[in-house]
Amino acid sequence: MSLVWYEEKTLITLRSSVDQLNTIRYLSSSVLTLKGVGTEVAKKLQNLDISSIRDLIFHKPLGVIKRQYIQSLALASPGAIVTVVLKIDKHYPPRHKKLPYRIMCSDAWGELELTFFHANTAYLKSLLPEGSSRVVSGKISAFNKGLQISHPDHIGPINTLDQWVGSEPTYPLTHGVSQKQIRKIILTALSNIGDLNEWHDANLLKSKNWPSFKDALYKLHHPLNDDDFNLNTPWRERLAFDELYAQQIALYTLRNQEDLSRNHHYKVSGHLKDKALRLLPFQLTSDQKTVLAELEHDMNAPHRMVRLLQGDVGCGKTIVAFMALLNRVESGHQGALLAPTEILIRQHYKTLSPLAGQLGIKTAILTGSDKKSDRKKILADLESGEIHIIFGTHAIIQEDVHFKNLGLAIID
């Protein structure tokens, strides 16, 4: 199902305000600014590609667990995740390091054993003093004809009972960061987001039944059941739309900046492209000709082109892109065609390099599997300008790759 669409008439000018600017600054700030996030935690979060608060609030949950409150151990079922109030009866430190630390607990209807491996004895005695009552939450299991919870998710005073009943999200984790920890950090980040002026037209929100941006984030991180993970929920549609909307604004801003900062024209006659078209064993479709004309118009304009060419597999996008590369080569520049896999880029090279050769255009292919001597020669020819069009994988965007005069880069 398509979640996001783009129509110019739906783009509404963003309203600016001090509150909005402050919120944008907040979302762009480091997670280190959040309470409870120190240098070590921030370093671990980077393993999840989380550096800013924006990264954190878009760290989406993968699932939801339901934590059930039971009034007595008589209602406990092995495998269930429960929250129960227990009396702490007695601590049993292990006789050997490989054995767990055991704590016997009870209520009026039965007993339950808590187990901890590699436990901090002093901490557990402080957290669970004998004779006290505590809220304990975790997964019930059957062990030695009794009930057990190993490493409970939560232990606290009775007044924390409501915090550990109901549905809660589960997130992708990394070593050293627990579910409890990342949930707390995300909720802290959400609570600090200010109210924003709406940037979408009210009629659009009403027609799509979309919540506000802040409410959509809240719903994303407070799923009630598995249905809340469907991609067509109103809050997920809203956030998906905003993501592409922001990309459109970024591209628009970039183009405006280029309009102001660059006034070079690269008008060409198109003779290389025309000659190549005559050599092809087929004719371009009307749609291909229309798109190529749009590309040429953009490339001849006094600003940098940033364009997405979209179409079904096999519709002929690559040949259109290659014609654009020929126009740039005619203007005295180099071109680059990048593909994500070596198989795909070699296929493009095998198909297009013979055509380039007939036009007197020198091409080369650069991948991560090239021999060191071959790579050195290609890099030298790129820097000197001897290579007109380079085909490659990510190997062409490394720091040691230098062009003499790159004019057009295409990513397939």
Q: Are residues 315 and 385 in the same domain?
A: yes
Residue 45 placed within a domain: yes
- Quote the pTM value: 0.56
Q: Are residues 359 and 407 in the same domain?
A: yes
Residue 309: other Cβ atoms inside 10 A: 16
CATH of the domain at 108: 2.40.50.140
What is the SS3 assignment for 260-288?
HHCCCCCCCCCHHHHHHHHHCCCCCCHHH
Cβ-contact 33, 45 below 8 angstroms: no
Q: Are residues 139 and 122 in the same domain?
A: yes
Q: Are residues 316 and 383 in the same domain?
A: yes
Average pLDDT over residues 220-229: 91
Residue 261 placed within a domain: no
For residues 182-200, one letter each, b for 16 or more C-beta atoms within 10 angstroms of the residue's C-beta and e for the rest, the string is bbebbebbbeebeeeeebb
Cβ-contact 348, 363 below 8 angstroms: no
Query: How high is the pLDDT of residue 216?
Result: 93
Residue 263 placed within a domain: no
Q: Are residues 105 and 185 in the same domain?
A: no
Long-range contacts of 212-218 (CB under 8 A, 24+ apart): 213/238, 213/239, 213/242, 217/57, 217/190, 217/193, 218/190
Cβ-contact 109, 87 below 8 angstroms: no
Indicate the residue type of 147.
L
Alpha helices in 46-94 (DSSP H): 53-57
Query: How high is the pLDDT of residue 2?
Result: 32
CATH of the domain at 188: 1.10.150.20
Residue 260 placed within a domain: no
Cβ-contact 172, 44 below 8 angstroms: no
Query: How high is the pLDDT of residue 266?
Result: 64
**H or E, element range at 27:** helix 18-28
The C-alpha atoms of residue 190 and residue 203 are separated, in whole angstroms, by: 26
Q: Are residues 316 and 385 in the same domain?
A: yes
Question: Does pLDDT of 47 surpass 70?
Answer: yes
Residue 256 placed within a domain: no
Q: Are residues 18 and 71 in the same domain?
A: no
Average pLDDT over residues 249-261: 67
Residue finishing a domain among 170, 201, 222: 170
CATH of the domain at 319: 3.40.50.300
Q: What is the dihedral of CA 195, 197, 200, 201, to 10 degrees?
A: 120
Cβ-contact 63, 133 below 8 angstroms: no
Listed in sequence order, the residues at least 6 apart from 2 whose beta carbon sits closer than 8 Å to its beta carbon are: none
178: phi then psi, degrees, rounded to nearest 5: -95, 165
395: phi then psi, degrees, rounded to nearest 5: -60, -20
Separation in Å, CA 340 to CA 321, 346, 389: 16, 11, 17
User: Tokens 């001597």 identify what position?
Assistant: 373
Residue-number span of the structural domain to which 90 is assigned: 64-170
Residue finishing a domain among 149, 170, 191: 170
251: phi then psi, degrees, rounded to nearest 5: -65, -40
Q: Are residues 98 and 199 in the same domain?
A: no
Cβ-contact 101, 148 below 8 angstroms: no
Residue 259 placed within a domain: no
N-terminal to C-terminal alpha carbon distance within the chain: 23
Residue 225: other Cβ atoms inside 10 A: 9
Q: Are residues 48 and 147 in the same domain?
A: no
Q: What share of the chain is helix, strand, coil (3-state, %, to 5)?
A: 45, 20, 40
Q: Are residues 359 and 220 in the same domain?
A: no
Percent of the chain whose predicted confidence (pLDDT) is above 70: 91
Q: Are residues 166 and 73 in the same domain?
A: yes
Total count of domains within the chain:
3
Cβ-contact 17, 196 below 8 angstroms: no
For residues 354-373, one letter each, b for 16 or more C-beta atoms within 10 angstroms of the residue's C-beta and e for the rest, the string is ebbeebebebbbbbeebeee
SS3 68: strand
Residue finishing a domain among 170, 201, 232: 170
Residue 383 placed within a domain: yes
Query: How high is the pLDDT of residue 377?
Result: 95
119: left (phi over 0), alpha (psi -120 to 50) or beta: beta
Question: Does pLDDT of 1 surpass 50?
Answer: no
Query: How high is the pLDDT of residue 316?
Result: 86
Percent of the chain whose predicted confidence (pLDDT) is above 90: 63
Antiparallel, parallel or unpaired: β 166-170 and 363-366: unpaired
Residue 214: other Cβ atoms inside 10 A: 14
pLDDT single digits (tens) 265-322:
566 778 899 999 999 999 999 999 999 998 888 888 777 777 888 878 778 889 999 9
Residue 266 placed within a domain: no
Q: Are residues 132 and 103 in the same domain?
A: yes
pLDDT single digits (tens) 81-139:
999 999 999 999 999 888 999 999 999 999 999 999 998 999 999 999 999 999 999 99
User: Which residues are bridge partners to 150 per DSSP?
Assistant: 115
Query: How high is the pLDDT of residue 265?
Result: 58
Q: What is the DSSP letter of 15?
A: P
